[in-house]
Structure 1
Amino acid sequence: MYITALLVGLLGGVHCLAMCGGLAGSITMGLSAEIRSRPSRMLPYQLAYNLGRILGYGVAGALFGGLGALLVQLDALQIGQRILYGFAGVMMVLLGLYLGGWWRLLEATERWGRALWRRLEPLARPLLPVRTIPRALAVGLIWAWIPCGLVYSVLVTAIATGSPIQGAGVMLAFGLGTLPNLMGIALLAGAAARIAERAWVRQVAGILVLSFGISMLWRLIPWMAWPFDL
């Protein structure tokens, strides 16, 4: 599950560039001209921002993993785990279709998350422009909660673990997978974004993530035999 989360973060990076690229770029633009003149000087700020963002994902994963543990306890243990696992597989299928541009249903989850973001976004304003590394870290922690269908789909997988520790691990692995793309857009200007905008790149990513979802659902088929014996 951790490897899948890592790969989803890496493949879903084409979506990260669209959703979070501007945020990562704003950190760069808030730095002094002297720091921006050399990528090596910008690197600590971008690393701090992304560390905060990944830690924020880990916190969310722990919370949702704890929710999954509660849901499993409310139902028969094995049945509850299978329902959550199946739901995670469906979300992966929807994510693959979303990344490939074939079906945008997952955008609805981003609309639902905007209510939460409206409460969190004002917390980031006093930290902008980013002038220090601790500020970059704090901004990353807050921006981890930006409405994003990609993040929400992996959070469902965190719920399916039924464990706060495993849920945090899933989201940390996902966050590490997104790191190359967001670091790339910050340090390589628009080159990474131009690559991600190509339809075939998004479609390849969509097909691969779609295959993860289908694989999860395929593994669920033997579990569906009554009376739900493994």
Structure 2
Amino acid sequence: MELALIISAIGLGFASGFHCIGMCGPIALSMGLTKKQATNYYFQNLTYQFGRIFTYSLLGTLLGIVGQGFEMAGFQQYLTIAVGILLILMAIFSFGGNDFASKIPFLSKLLLQVKMNLGKLLQKADYRSRFTTGILNGFLPCGMVYMALTASLAAGGIWQGASFMALFGLGTLPFMFAVVLLGNLMTTAFRIKILKFVPVLMIVLGGLFILRGLEIGIPYISPKKEALKIIHNNSTEHQEGNHATCH
């Protein structure tokens, strides 16, 4: 996986963390985890978080299949540039601290319904319920997740799309883990101030995708297509060599 994609995935996830606190934080806080549960408290928190990441990876896999189709058709470069432009447009609509998805009426209603239906599941305290809660949480309508999924289209293949979304999920992990750990110590005013910078980072990441698609020869950021082929071929030969050695 290219460095530009790794940086984009983790950066997008890290920036989304502040947004996730507002959108998904209340769900995490509703799980009733307390520090009195000691080790169980941390493991249940992580179980919930990895449920979210599992969903993101699954969605990334599905988008990766579509992206691989574009690559096989020879349209990967154009797709990458289009994704970069789309990310920038999404970021522009996110200025003001609002999730652009919340501005779409049917998505806003769906978000409310899903949160209400999660209520029953939140009453259970076993690990299976925590993981399931995380899985369902990952399907919540969220503009930041949609941005990441759009970017995963241009990752270049199935496992690349899954890896991109897994890294995105790991990027959100620090803030989402902390919101359960610290509760409401992070004030709304502080979160709103931070959210104002999120669209700026989205524009930067969109620019990275456009650079990657232009293939202007910047190592690791915008390598030429020929260089990518050489790296891919070397990796394939190395794997085949290891396979032959095992036999």
TM-score, normalized by the shorter chain, greater than 0.5: yes
Equivalent of residue 83 in structure 1, options 72, 78, 82: 78
The alpha-carbon deviation at position 221 of structure 1 amounts to 4.5
Structure 1 residues 64 and 110: CA distance shift in structure 2, 3 A = farther
Distance 2:38 2:136 in 1: 24
Distance 1:170 1:9 in 2: 10
CA contact 1:12–1:99 (8 Å) conserved in 2: no
Structure 1 residues 40 and 191: CA distance shift in structure 2, 3 A = farther
Cross-structure match for 1:203: 196
Structure 1 residues 110 and 91: CA distance shift in structure 2, 3 A = farther
Equivalent of residue 23 in structure 1, options 24, 27, 47: 27
Using structure 2 for the length normalisation, give the TM-score. 0.73
CA contact 2:101–2:141 (8 Å) conserved in 1: no
Cα RMSD for the two superposed structures = 3.1
Distance 1:110 1:173 in 2: 30
Cross-structure match for 1:189: 183
Cross-structure match for 2:54: 55
Cross-structure match for 2:123: 129
Residue type of the alignment partner of 1:83: Y
Count of aligned residue pairs for this structure pair: 214
Cross-structure match for 2:159: 165
* Gapped regions of structure 1 (runs ≥ 5): 224-228
Task: State whether structure 2 residue 92 is matched by structure 1 residue 101.
Answer: no
Distance 2:98 2:49 in 1: 29
Task: State whether structure 2 residue 91 is matched by structure 1 residue 92.
Answer: no
Residue type of the alignment partner of 2:85: V
Structure 1 residues 116 and 86: CA distance shift in structure 2, 3 A = farther
Secondary structure, aligned partner of 1:161: coil
Cross-structure match for 1:13: 17
Structure 1 residues 98 and 191: CA distance shift in structure 2, 3 A = farther
CA deviations on 1:172-223 (whole Å, 9 max, x unpaired) are 0000000011111111011235465232x22233322221212322444467
Cross-structure match for 1:226: none
Secondary structure, aligned partner of 1:191: coil
Using structure 1 for the length normalisation, give the TM-score. 0.78
Secondary structure, aligned partner of 2:197: helix
* Gapped regions of structure 2 (runs ≥ 5): 217-223, 226-247
Larger radius of gyration: 2
Structure 1 residues 39 and 7: CA distance shift in structure 2, 3 A = farther
Residue type of the alignment partner of 2:48: Y
